[in-house]
Amino acid sequence: MAVEETDTQVIITNPSDPNSSVTILKYGATVISWIYKGEEKLWLSDDAKLDGSKPVRGGIPLVFPVFGKCKDASHDTEPLPQHGFARNSTWQFLGQVTESPCAVQFGLGPEDVDQELYKKWGKGRHDFTLVLTVTLADDTFTTQIEVENTGASTFEFNWLFHTYYRVEDVTDSLVTNLMDSTCYDQLLATTYQEKAPMLSFHEEFDRIYKKVEEEKHIQIVDKGKVLVTLERENLPDAVVWNPWIEKSKGMADFAPKLGYMNMLCIEPGHVADFITLTRGEKWIASQKITPFGEIRVQTDIYSV
């Protein structure tokens, strides 16, 4: 069977390759595993809580309606906790939508969110439907989100696929095609133009790359081999994050303690500013991940 549902999760197996699968936890509609040809591609902490007691440390947590903690006291999302409420709500499994490639959907509405938490967003007046579509094709894995404003009040939101990739050694990993983008370094609280043709990782890293052109495919490269080619639709910003030693030590659900060496987050989103949806409007965005590729150098000046 290509799609198997248990009380807590949904597993998709590629009918043409039993060694390729995706596991999605209903809690947060969090993808917790993507195995391609027998190899796990996502990082999941050994101490990640999968029982709904806190957002999952690893996989692909979903960030909505706010990225980080909103610092603007007058904004609707300001009372919400870091990264909003989608990652810590149990989504409804809507079923399989296509057979080949195999795709499943999950839905979230205000009724699925802890009411105390939900009311922190615009005093509970925003009505919305989120539909997540997870598609496992032979050589690609796609997560797509549709946000619909089903209420009378206009709302503003951020979206982010907080994707944790598994890497062998992060100090050997390079990230391409962010050169020339405007970057906000969250650790230094400064904005500058990225000049490095490839990013490398030797200390804590927490940056938001803004308005990265859709034609640019962000890649993770390890010793000349492309581990990930990431295509984005409607997701102009990309957060690149590694907590390194001290920060990961401070996270109770982060294990093993040297796990920061084996993970790298590349998080496509719309976070540098808010998306506005008026009554009845829909917004759709997706990330498509290919676990290989040719190295492509795409700068603002030339593309190979």
Ligand X SMILES: O=P(O)(O)OC[C@H]1O[C@@H](O)[C@H](O)[C@@H](O)[C@@H]1O
Catalytic residue numbers? 162, 267
* Alpha-carbon separation of residue 123 from 75, 76, 140, 153 (angstroms): 11, 8, 40, 11
User: Considering beta carbons, is residue 56 or 104 the nearer one to ligand X?
Assistant: 56
With CB under 6 A as the contact rule, the residue among 206, 234, 283, 295 that binds ligand X is 206
Q: Does 216 bind ligand X (CB under 6 A)?
A: no
Q: Does 262 bind ligand X (CB under 6 A)?
A: no
User: Considering beta carbons, is residue 34 or 209 the nearer one to ligand X?
Assistant: 209
Q: Does 117 bind ligand X (CB under 6 A)?
A: no
* Contact call for residues 56 and 27 (beta carbons, < 8 A): yes
Q: Does 54 bind ligand X (CB under 6 A)?
A: no
* Alpha-carbon separation of residue 177 from 181, 216, 232, 276, 300 (angstroms): 9, 6, 13, 28, 9
Q: How far is the CB of 266 from ligand X (least distance, A)?
A: 10
The span from the CA of 286 to the CA of 235, in Å, is 7
With CB under 6 A as the contact rule, the residue among 241, 259, 261, 264 that binds ligand X is 241
Q: Does 162 bind ligand X (CB under 6 A)?
A: yes
The amino acid sitting at 54 is: K
- For the chain, where are the alpha helices, taking DSSP H only? 115-118, 244-249
The span from the CA of 155 to the CA of 153, in Å, is 6
User: Considering beta carbons, is residue 83 or 232 the nearer one to ligand X?
Assistant: 83
- Give the helix, strand, coil percentages of the chain, each rounded to 5: 10, 50, 45
Q: Please calculate the CA angle 102-295-214 and round it to the nearest 5 degrees.
A: 60
Q: Does 24 bind ligand X (CB under 6 A)?
A: no
User: Considering beta carbons, is residue 162 or 232 the nearer one to ligand X?
Assistant: 162
Q: Does 239 bind ligand X (CB under 6 A)?
A: yes
The span from the CA of 274 to the CA of 155, in Å, is 9
Q: Does 267 bind ligand X (CB under 6 A)?
A: yes
Binding site for substrate: what residues are annotated? 57, 82, 87
Q: How far is the CB of 68 from ligand X (least distance, A)?
A: 6
Residue in the structure block whose two tokens are 């790298």: 264
Site for ligand X in 181-200 (CB under 6 A): 186
Q: Does 47 bind ligand X (CB under 6 A)?
A: no
Q: Which phi and psi (to 5°) does residue 72 adopt?
A: -90, 105
Residues 153-171 as b or e (16 or more Cβ within 10 Å = b):
eebbbbbbbbbbbbbeebe
User: Considering beta carbons, is residue 134 or 239 the nearer one to ligand X?
Assistant: 239
Q: How far is the CB of 290 from ligand X (least distance, A)?
A: 22
Q: How far is the CB of 73 from ligand X (least distance, A)?
A: 20
With CB under 6 A as the contact rule, the residue among 26, 41, 83, 270 that binds ligand X is 83
Q: How far is the CB of 67 from ligand X (least distance, A)?
A: 7
Q: Does 82 bind ligand X (CB under 6 A)?
A: yes
Number of chain positions touching ligand X (CB under 6 A): 9
* Contact call for residues 111 and 119 (beta carbons, < 8 A): no
User: Considering beta carbons, is residue 43 or 241 the nearer one to ligand X?
Assistant: 241
Summarize as ranges the residues that interact with ligand X (CB under 6 A). Answer: 55, 82-83, 162, 186, 206, 239, 241, 267
